[in-house]
Amino acid sequence: MKIGFIGAGKVGSAFGRYLKENGLDIAGFYSRSIESSQSAAEFTGSKAMDIEELVNDCNYIFITTPDGVISEVWERIKKYDLKGKNIFHMSGCLGSDIFQGAKHLDADTYSLHPLFPFTDRNCFTFLNEVVFSVEGENIDKIKYFLNAAKLKYFVIDNKNKAKYHAAAVFASNYIVSIAKIAKEILLDCGMDEKYIVDAIYPLMKGAVSNIREKGIEGALTGPILRRDAGTIKLHLDNLDDFEHIYRLLGLAAVEIEKGKIEYKDEKLEAIENLLRGE
């Protein structure tokens, strides 16, 4: 098994280093920037390669470019002999069907995506804790690789890739959006901006720690858990721009609480009606 990467940014570099640390053979990297290829090669103990050499020498080829470039790279490498090769991209949203014509080339194609925000290439040290999704028509063929790489993975249907990626956006990107909303409200309350992160970080860290320790349904705190309709009404009466999103997130919290009980909870129903504006 020889592994090559087309694309030498933080995702390719980090994943390549992770595979190297787990004893897999990383042949090298190709990038349009020779400096990027050389940097990734040095980081992974491999070498910078031209694209023809990489495609010919490797039987596991990872395209770790931005999503919008994957098709372009695929069209470029289709002219080489891909028989028996395993071609991957690492997009969260796109499926393996982006590799059009792969069957006629006797190549097997997959999408392999880590549920992890890559801030830089040094985050390879965390990948042993990350869950990956894998999608493609011949998963059995690559199980040796998946196991050798010590990946925690699940198989996803191509039709669910966009929905799956949206879930990742909720869990990662939109947490930052929630923090931004909290910031704007606190600024409106007169808090000095220099205190904002110190004010909200313990709250967010505590919530995430509770999820880790108690599970999602067991992590909820606050007025909906306490059935405190009065506090929720005060919130709604004092929110302007963010009232709508407060209502939507509140209804999601109500659903969490409804899933815990098997009886009629009039206080919870009243909160649900309040959040729906009824």
Q: Report domain extents, the chain.
A: 3-157, 170-276
Region 242-249: mean pLDDT is: 97
- Total number of residues shown for the chain: 278
Tokens describing residue 263? 């009886």
Confidence of residue 258 (pLDDT cuts 50, 70, 90): very high
> Measured at the alpha carbon of residue 11, what is the angle toward residues 8 and 14, in degrees to the nearest 5?
90
Region 221-232: mean pLDDT is: 97
Q: Is 67 helix (H, G, I), strand (E, B) or coil?
A: helix
Contact 241, 202 (CB under 8 A): no
Class of domain 3-157: alpha beta
Expressed in angstroms, the distance from the first to the final Cα of the chain is 62
Query: pLDDT value at position 208?
Result: 95
Confidence of residue 49 (pLDDT cuts 50, 70, 90): very high
Give the global pTM: 0.86
Tokens describing residue 4? 């090559």
Residue 275 one-letter amino acid: L
The CA–CA distances, whole Å, from 233 to 61, 179, 267 equal 56, 22, 13
Contact 89, 69 (CB under 8 A): no
Q: In whole angstroms, what is the distance from residue 28 CA to residue 22 CA?
A: 16
| Percent of the chain topping pLDDT 70 | 100
What stretch of H or E contains 26? strand 26-30
Q: In whole angstroms, what is the distance from residue 221 CA to residue 199 CA?
A: 17
Q: In whole angstroms, what is the distance from residue 124 CA to residue 45 CA?
A: 14
Dump pLDDT digits (tens) for 56-114: 999 999 999 999 999 999 999 999 999 999 999 999 999 999 999 999 999 999 999 99
- Alpha helix (H) residue ranges in 97-159: 143-148
Tokens describing residue 139? 């998963």
CA atoms within 13 A of residue 10's CA, in its CB half-sphere? 11
**Dihedrals phi, psi of 25, to nearest 5 degrees:** -90, 105
Query: pLDDT value at position 164?
Result: 95
pLDDT at 278 over 90: no
Handedness of CA 91, 95, 98, 104 (dihedral sign): positive
Dump pLDDT digits (tens) for 156-208: 999 999 999 999 999 999 999 999 999 999 999 999 999 999 999 999 999 99
Dump pLDDT digits (tens) for 213-224: 999 999 999 999
